[in-house]
Amino acid sequence: MKSRAAVAFEPGKPLQIVEIDVEPPRKGEVLVKITHTALCHTDAYTLSGVDPEGVFPAVLGHEGGGIVVEVGEGVTSVKPGDHVIPLYTAECGKCKFCTSGKTNLCSSVRETQGKGLMPDGTTRFSYNGQPIYHYMGTSTFSEYTVVAEVSLAKVNPEAPLEKVCLLGCGVTTGIGAVHNTAKVKEGDTIAVFGLGAIGLAVIQGAVQAKAGRIIAIDTNPNKFILAKELGATDCVNPKDHDRPIQEVIVDMTDGGVDFSFECIGNVDVMRSALECCHKGWGESVIIGVAGAGQEICTRPFQLVTGRVWRGSAFGGVKGRTQLPGMVEQAMAGELDLDPYITHTLPLERINEAFDLMHEGKSIRTVIHY
Ligand code: NAD
Ligand code: DAO
Ligand code: ZN
């Protein structure tokens, strides 16, 4: 079938809106009509060409929502008409990871997903007879996409897909990192570095956890308005200080925070985030994705004296099991998605959405088909 899609033909170049060919779903696969997708910084990261797993040409996009059109052989958990959120972190429920009870990472489709291919090692997309690669197992920048069954969360059909698509990545990642990775408790002091959708969702999660002080840090002071609305108690711009930001935060908090979250992907900030943690117990969670080959560093004494460095992928959330419940929370008004949606645009204007992100003007732009 034909599908309108925004294709990344080359790294560093704008996406091109073209009509691609999409093959029917094969065994264990599902054809989904994407109704809405948002853009995340990770899409920009891959498009820039620095992602070691970035293959071109590809259909990017991983924060979407849609409706099942057709299922391949053996698919039992979804049927045509079901509303779904594609998952870049699959959940097969059977692999060593899924059955460990220790992680939300799943190995079932991981190897091929990282190569831009479907689990059988081929692609369902082509343009003028040339193959187009998949991305993160989701490829939501195409009106019709093919996704592995294990990479789909079935959600309440009453849920507004134009909003709950955000649960496909950013909001879930930030909120999940607070509850599943850090396990923030009532009264804890936290620091959030970077106030894009991920950092704002960390703030929202911290408010849910009844954190005490929530210190929001960004070099763009325009981000402080929304951060305060969502519950930040203090806002700090590193540019206002002539000493390392970790020293500023340690002084503000009588020795450091209980938890910090890096939501930028900057290895220098990752160090600051660790070192602003309280001696003896402070924990820092890395969420941001750093450039290929970059490394983090600190003095080992920081760890010897009790600080802990962790990381979080998709907020530690098991998508098929837990995402439907988060959608219910959003529908019940317990999880407000409206503040994140600063812009909406049709697919044809998706490159403007990337510009808005790079200019620091948007939190999330929701693209409609
Ligand atoms: P974003 O670009 O919208 O937000 C980043 C924020 O960081 C911006 O507000 C920017 O002003 C601020 N910033 C930049 N440099 C800074 C500095 N030196 N000090 C303080 N603030 C600074 O991005 P996003 O969509 O919120 O994503 C954030 C990061 O999280 C990205 O690296 C993305 O790839 C990553 N991510 C990770 C996961 C995961 O599962 N681990 C999931 C989604 C996104
Ligand atoms: O299982 O080995 C693995 C890798 C899982 C990928 C997790 C990706 C998390 C960070 C990427 C940000 C996505 C928007
Ligand atoms: Zn698994």
Nearest-atom number in ligand 1 for the CA of 44 is 34
Active site annotation includes 349: no
- Ligand 3 center–CA 28 separation, angstroms: 14
> Which residue, among 43, 63, 64, 41, has the nearest Cα to 54 in the 3D structure?
43
Kindly tell me the sign of the dihedral angle through the C-alpha atoms of 210, 211, 212, 215. Answer: negative
Residue 312 structure tokens: 């979080």
- Structural domain boundaries, residue 7: 2-168+337-368
pLDDT tens per residue, range 279-302: 999 999 999 999 989 999 999 999
Query: Does 19 lie in the same domain as 119?
Result: yes
Query: Does 93 lie in the same domain as 74?
Result: yes
N residues, the chain: 369
The CATH number of the domain where 46 resides is what? Answer: 3.90.180.10
Query: Does 191 lie in the same domain as 272?
Result: yes
Average pLDDT, the chain: 97
Active site annotation includes 41: yes
Nearest-atom number in ligand 2 for the CA of 97 is 1
Q: Indicate which residue of 29, 36, 46, 63 is catalytic.
A: 63
Residue 240 structure tokens: 């206002």
* Helix, strand, coil percent content, the chain, rounded in steps of 5: 30, 25, 45
- Residue 294 included in any domain: yes
Active site annotation includes 364: yes
- CB-based pocket (< 6 A), ligand 1: 40-42, 45, 169-170, 173, 193-199, 217-220, 223, 238, 263-266, 269, 287-289, 312-314, 360
Query: Does 191 lie in the same domain as 154?
Result: no
- Rounded to an integer, the average pLDDT of 160-172 is 98
Buried b (16+ CB within 10 A) or exposed e, 3-38: bebbbbeeeeeebebeebbbeebbebbbbbbbbbbb
- CB-based pocket (< 6 A), ligand 2: 40, 42, 62, 88-89, 105, 110, 169, 289, 313
Q: Indicate which residue of 23, 26, 70, 95 is catalytic.
A: 95
Which of 91, 100, 289, 357 should be mutated for ligand 2, with most atoms under 8 A from CB? 289
pLDDT tens per residue, range 202-236: 999 999 999 999 999 999 999 999 999 999 999 99
Please state, in angstroms and rounded to a whole number, the distance separating the CA atoms of residues 159 and 180: 24
pLDDT tens per residue, range 310-341: 999 999 999 999 999 999 999 999 999 999 99
Q: Which ligand is nearest to the CA of 53?
A: 2
> Which residue, among 170, 145, 164, 143, has the nearest Cα to 39 in the 3D structure?
170
Assess whether the previous peptide bond of 57 is cis (omega < 30° from 0): yes
Please state, in angstroms and rounded to a whole number, the distance separating the CA atoms of residues 210 and 183: 11
- Confidence tier at 53 by pLDDT (50, 70, 90): confident
pLDDT at 272: 98
- Residue 23 included in any domain: yes
- Residue 295 included in any domain: yes
Query: Does 155 lie in the same domain as 15?
Result: yes
> Total structural domains in the chain?
2
User: 3-class DSSP state for residue 354?
Assistant: helix
- Ligand 3 center–CA 48 separation, angstroms: 30
pLDDT tens per residue, range 242-262: 999 999 999 999 999 999 999
Task: Write the DSSP symbol of residue 58.
Answer: B
Q: Indicate which residue of 110, 310, 349, 368 is catalytic.
A: 110
Please state, in angstroms and rounded to a whole number, the distance separating the CA atoms of residues 269 and 262: 7
Query: Does 236 lie in the same domain as 164?
Result: no
- Residue 35 included in any domain: yes
Query: Does 216 lie in the same domain as 129?
Result: no
The pTM of the full predicted model, rounded to 2 decimals, is: 0.96
Query: Does 141 lie in the same domain as 57?
Result: yes
- Residue 135 included in any domain: yes
pLDDT at 104: 98
Active site annotation includes 95: yes
Query: Does 231 lie in the same domain as 149?
Result: no
Query: What residues are neighbours of ligand 3 (ion), with CB under 5 Å?
Result: 92, 95, 98, 106, 108
Residue 75 structure tokens: 């698919």
pLDDT at 238: 98
Active site annotation includes 98: yes
Please state, in angstroms and rounded to a whole number, the distance separating the CA atoms of residues 312 and 288: 9
Active site annotation includes 352: no
Active site annotation includes 343: no
> Which residue, among 172, 207, 203, 204, has the nearest Cα to 186 in the 3D structure?
207
Active site annotation includes 4: no
- Confidence tier at 52 by pLDDT (50, 70, 90): confident
DSSP string, 97-161: TTTTTS-S---TTHHHHTTT--TTS--SEEETTEEEB--TTT-TTBSEEEEEGGGEEEE-TTS-H
- Residue 17 included in any domain: yes
Query: Does 300 lie in the same domain as 212?
Result: yes
Q: Indicate which residue of 36, 320, 343, 364 is catalytic.
A: 364
Nearest-atom number in ligand 2 for the CA of 106 is 1
- Ligand 2 center–CA 173 separation, angstroms: 11
The distance in angstroms from the start CA to the end CA of the chain is 16
Query: Does 307 lie in the same domain as 219?
Result: yes
Q: Indicate which residue of 35, 36, 37, 40 is catalytic.
A: 40
Assembly ipTM: 0.97
Which residue, 279, 296, 312, sits at the end of a domain?
A: 312
Query: Does 203 lie in the same domain as 104?
Result: no
